[in-house]
């Protein structure tokens, strides 16, 4: 019986190592798949943040323009400190 088990172990030993390596490759493939999904999600979020940044910059430019126009209008229409009006 021991001889039969030894023979079986000798026969399947190399295949067990291949199976173990295959599991490792499978685990690496799964990790790569998960990392790819995460990367894709991060790219989507980055695009969304860039679009938001662009909208905020545009809004900031518009508000700055309005404030400058208001400042100019007030400066043109308010009497000066010298009392001339």
Average pLDDT over every residue of 38-59: 98
What does residue 20 show for φ and ψ, rounded to 5 degrees?
A: -60, -45
Q: Supply the pLDDT for residue 81.
A: 61
Mean pLDDT of 4-26: 76
Return all residues near 85 (Cβ < 8 A) that are at least 6 apart.
Answer: 79
Report which of 32, 12, 34 is spatially closest to residue 24, judged by C-alpha positions: 32
Asked if residue 83 has pLDDT above 70, the reply is: no
pLDDT in tens, 48-58: 999 999 999 99
Domain boundaries, given as residue ranges, for the chain = 41-65
pLDDT band at 38 (very low <50, low <70, confident <90, very high): very high
Predicted TM-score of the model (pTM): 0.56
């Amino acid at each position: 019986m021991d001889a039969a088990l030894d023979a079986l172990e000798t026969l399947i030993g190399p295949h067990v190592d291949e199976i173990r390596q295959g599991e490792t490759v499978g685990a690496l493939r799964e990790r790569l798949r998960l990392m790819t999904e995460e990367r894709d999600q991060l790219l989507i979020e980055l695009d969304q943040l860039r679009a938001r940044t662009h909208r905020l910059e545009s809004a900031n430019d518009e508000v700055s323009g309005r404030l400058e126009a208001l400042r100019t209008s007030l400066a043109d229409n308010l009497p000066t400190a010298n009392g001339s009006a």
